[in-house]
C-alpha cells in the first residue's frame, strides 16, 4: 500500500530526511520512533500527501501521495494531528460527526444514517457521557480522545496518528492504544503512529521504523530490532532491555548514569 523510494525532505536549506526506502504492507500497525527533530512528523506529512518529497517518491497504492485530490484521499485516509483538536464551541458529538465530511454532498447531507456509527465510536472512546459538552469545556486529554473518535467516524483504510498519546495519563494511553490496535485488527486497516514511548511502540506495533539523523536506522518487528545497543546509538542514553512478562516483547528500563 505504501512505498518510499529514496525519499528526501527539506525544510528550507535543512535536509530533514534523506534516502528513505521502505514498503509498508496493508493491515498492520506500524510505529515511527526516534529522537526529537529527527523527522518523524515530517515523514507522516509526506505519507499523508500534505508535503511533497524534495527527491524520490512516496507512493500510496502506486500513486504519488501528493497527487491525490484532498477530498478523494480523505475518503480512505485519516490523520490524527499532533496536539488534538482546538477548544472550540462545538459539542463532542458534533465534532465527532465532522469525520463524515468527505462523504457529504455540498449541502452537508449523506445518504446513509450515521447516528448509530457516531454512537458506537463515542462509546468506544468512553465519550458517551460527554457527548453534549462543548469542546471548550474539555481537558486536553478529553479533546485528544474526541479527535480519535472523529478519525474512527471517518472509517478510513489508512490511519496516520501523530503522537496520539500526547496529554493522556497512562490509563488513557493504554485505552487509546488498545482502541487503535483493536480497531485496526477488526477492520483490517493500516495504521501508522508516531510514538515517543519505546515501550508503547514495542507493545502495540507489528513493525517499527526507527529514524536517526534523518535516515532509517532500523525497520522490522520490535523483537528483531529493539535492543539496548539501538537505544544507545539512536537516543544517546543507556537502557536495560527486558522481556515483557506477558508477550516477551522488549521493554526498556532507563539507567540514571550513576
Per-residue cell: 167: 496529554
Q: Quick one: 100 and 118 in the same domain? A: yes
Q: Could you tell me if 138 and 86 are in contact, meaning their C-beta atoms sit under 8 angstroms apart?
A: no
Q: Quick one: 142 and 169 in the same domain? A: no
Evaluate whether residue 242 is within a structural domain: no
Q: Quick one: 11 and 136 in the same domain? A: no
Domain count, the chain: 2
Q: What's 15's domain CATH number?
A: 3.40.50.300
Q: End of a domain among 106, 126, 155?
A: 155
16 pairs with which residues across the strands?
Answer: none
Q: End of a domain among 155, 180, 205?
A: 155
Q: End of a domain among 128, 155, 182?
A: 155
Q: Could you tell me if 192 and 159 are in contact, meaning their C-beta atoms sit under 8 angstroms apart?
A: yes
pLDDT score at 1? 82
pLDDT score at 164? 86
Sign of the C-alpha dihedral, residues 135, 137, 140, 145? negative
Q: Quick one: 134 and 13 in the same domain? A: no
CB count, 10 Å around CB of 21? 13
Measured CA to CA, the distance from residue 92 to residue 45 in angstroms comes to: 26
Q: Quick one: 162 and 72 in the same domain? A: yes
Evaluate whether residue 9 is within a structural domain: yes
Q: Quick one: 200 and 160 in the same domain? A: yes
Q: Quick one: 9 and 132 in the same domain? A: no
Q: Quick one: 62 and 165 in the same domain? A: yes
Q: Quick one: 101 and 127 in the same domain? A: yes
Q: Quick one: 21 and 60 in the same domain? A: yes
pLDDT score at 30? 97
Q: Could you tell me if 162 and 130 are in contact, meaning their C-beta atoms sit under 8 angstroms apart?
A: no
Evaluate whether residue 136 is within a structural domain: yes
Per-residue cell: 101: 465530511
Evaluate whether residue 175 is within a structural domain: yes
Q: Quick one: 54 and 167 in the same domain? A: yes
Structural domain for 193, as ranges: 1-76+156-227
Evaluate whether residue 114 is within a structural domain: yes
pLDDT score at 191? 95
pLDDT in tens, the chain (258 residues): 899 999 999 988 889 999 999 999 999 999 999 999 899 999 999 999 999 999 999 999 999 998 988 878 888 898 887 666 766 789 999 999 888 877 666 656 666 678 888 998 899 888 999 999 999 898 877 888 888 888 888 888 899 999 888 778 888 888 889 988 988 888 889 999 999 999 999 999 999 999 999 999 999 999 999 999 999 999 999 999 999 999 999 999 988 765
Q: Quick one: 66 and 172 in the same domain? A: yes
Amino acid at each position: 500500500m505504501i512505498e518510499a523510494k529514496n525519499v528526501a525532505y527539506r525544510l528550507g536549506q535543512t535536509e530533514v530526511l534523506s534516502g528513505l526506502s521502505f514498503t509498508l504492507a496493508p493491515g498492520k500497525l506500524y510505529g515511527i520512533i526516534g529522537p526529537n527533530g529527527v523527522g518523524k512528523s515530517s515523514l507522516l506529512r509526506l505519507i499523508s500527501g500534505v508535503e511533497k518529497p524534495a527527491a524520490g517518491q512516496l507512493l500510496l497504492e502506486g500513486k504519488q501521495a501528493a497527487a491525490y485530490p484532498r477530498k478523494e484521499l480523505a475518503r480512505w485516509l485519516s490523520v490524527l494531528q499532533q496536539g488534538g483538536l482546538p477548544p472550540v464551541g462545538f459539542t463532542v458529538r458534533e465534532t465527532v460527526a465532522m469525520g463524515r465530511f468527505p462523504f457529504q454532498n455540498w449541502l452537508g447531507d449523506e445518504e446513509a444514517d450515521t447516528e448509530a456509527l457516531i454512537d458506537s465510536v463515542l462509546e468506544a472512546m468512553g465519550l458517551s457521557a460527554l457527548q453534549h459538552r462543548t469542546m471548550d469545556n474539555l481537558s486536553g486529554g478529553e479533546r485528544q480522545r474526541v479527535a480519535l473518535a472523529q478519525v474512527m467516524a471517518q472509517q478510513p483504510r489508512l490511519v496516520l496518528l501523530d503522537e496520539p498519546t500526547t496529554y493522556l495519563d497512562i490509563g488513557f494511553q493504554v485505552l487509546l492504544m488498545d482502541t487503535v490496535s483493536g480497531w485496526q485488527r477488526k477492520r483490517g486497516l493500516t495504521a501508522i503512529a508516531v510514538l515517543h514511548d519505546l515501550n508503547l511502540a514495542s507493545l502495540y506495533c507489528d513493525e517499527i521504523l526507527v529514524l536517526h539523523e534523518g535516515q532509517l536506522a532500523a525497520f522490522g518487528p520490535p523483537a528483531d530490532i529493539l535492543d539496548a545497543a539501538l537505544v544507545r546509538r539512536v537516543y544517546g542514553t543507556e537502557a536495560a532491555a527486558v522481556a515483557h512478562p506477558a508477550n516477551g516483547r522488549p521493554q526498556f528500563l532507563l539507567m540514571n548514569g550513576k
